Amino acid sequence: MIKAIQVFVLITFFLTPVYSQELSKKTPNVLFIVVDDLNTSLGCYGNKEVFSPNIDRLAAKGVRFDRAYCQYPLCNPSRASFLSGKRPETTGIYVLNVSARTALPNAVMLPQYFRQKGYFTAGAGKVFHNAKMSDVASWDFYEDNPSQDPEEKSAVDTRQGGGDGKPSSLALSSDGSRTRDAHNTQTILRFLREKVNEKKPFFLAAGFHKPHLPWTAPKRFFDLYPKDKISIPAEPKMSNVPPIALQTELSGFSQPNRKEAIQGYYACISFTDSQIGLLLDEMDKLSLWENTVVVLVGDNGFHLGDHDGLWAKLSQFDASTHVPMIMAGAGIPKGKVVNSPVELLDIYPTLVALSGGSTLPVLEGKNLVPFFSGKNRIIPPAKSMVFHYDSTQNVDVLGRTVINNQWRYTEWDGGKRGTELYIHKNDPKEYINQVNDQKTQKFAIKGKAVIANSQVPKTAEANRPRALLKPGMKTN
């Protein structure tokens, strides 16, 4: 069966149109950094408690997209979307066990595009959803080996704090050098050193597993966040929020100790930041900034007990869909912030443009170069979606979202199960649903119009795998 799949993928690779192999000396390399479950709890995004000096210095070197959003707040659907350049409505991927290549046999995935353009492509870690679902046609080299750290390995193997268990943390007694993420970092460092002087440009992808559960990191990173020093901000009371909107992947579990959980999550961010620092240090040593584009993103956001006890992702709140997105290096201005909403879907066409290629007609995102270069100031609204399980009818209910400069509008089952409108000027974290306020009806009308004009294609909807995303289901 495995051999048959490999043969199929290889046939797909050869049948897919091959783009120009002519590469000039100025053709930029790409270093693509994907971080699992990373929300905007970073210094450069305004969190003064989190120690993230390396991600912060990357942001200072380039463009920080202050309001970037995923297309679907769950690992596999999100990654399948931005790696294929297609919305979940088109891919039909809303669950974890359907690979991007299975759903889109003829698509040119992001690393595959660069491979066909003549780049050397290598990935290490979680780039596609997992190693078994990685895309053969995309890589000259790919690996994501299990952890060799006994404590981390045990935590993963026994499902200590995974998607089917409440959040839990473990401070490793080791220095972290044998963890999965550390090993993958060393793989990418090796390729940076090997490929720096070759004429052939490279596309390297580093996929970090942390801060995905279980929250395991060396003790020194936990020590950065004494539990008695972690602040829990006061939250406004939620108003008029439909019940279906208050679901996440961990809705069915008892509440963890919030400060302890936040400590574990922050420790993992700082550990990952230290590994990213090794990559950036190597970029400095090899003088790669002038001819390399670096992109860093989180695949989805993450609730940390906010909104009356929401944890993890799979909601349409800003905490779940809002992600860090940073671009730096060749062709990118330094120290710039883009405040308008953008989408992870925009990464693919932007990298195509920065590499001097022509945007493929099948891509559904937009090229962001004109927006951060000052040539275009009007950015279309961002869109997101999610399915939630309705236990009363054993069906999944579709939530569709539009995010504007000023507001977020969401419809559940076309409005039959609830509608939401949050005005970000006065309610940036989204607690007060103003959809019934006469003063804000003009925004609801605009949001409704955007959704009506971007309906789910009937073919994708008819062929989609049945999601049945029950609260508390296994999601990693």
Residue 44 bears catalytic tag? no
| Contact present, 332 and 70 (Cβ < 8 Å) | no
Q: Angle between the 347-354 and 75-84 helix axes, to the nearest 10 degrees?
A: 30
Of 44, 70, 129, 307, which one is the catalytic site residue?
129
Distances (CA, A) of 342 to 39, 295, 454: 15, 14, 17
Of 44, 70, 75, 268, which one is the catalytic site residue?
75
At 165, list the tokens.
């268990």
Residue 439, number of CB atoms within 10 A of its CB: 8
Residue 129 bears catalytic tag? yes
In our burial notation (b when 16+ CB lie closer than 10 A, e otherwise), range 274-294 reads bbbbbbbebbeeeebbebbbb
What's the rounded Cα separation, in Å, for the pair 347 and 357? Answer: 14
- CA–chain centroid gap for 77, Å, is 10
- Residue 212 identity (one-letter amino acid): H
Beta-ladder partners of 179: none
What's the rounded Cα separation, in Å, for the pair 221 and 274? Answer: 10
| Contact present, 298 and 323 (Cβ < 8 Å) | yes
Nearest to 13 by CA among 107, 121, 142: 107
Cα-flanking dihedrals φ and ψ of residue 301, to 5°? Answer: -85, -165
Catalytic residues: 75, 129
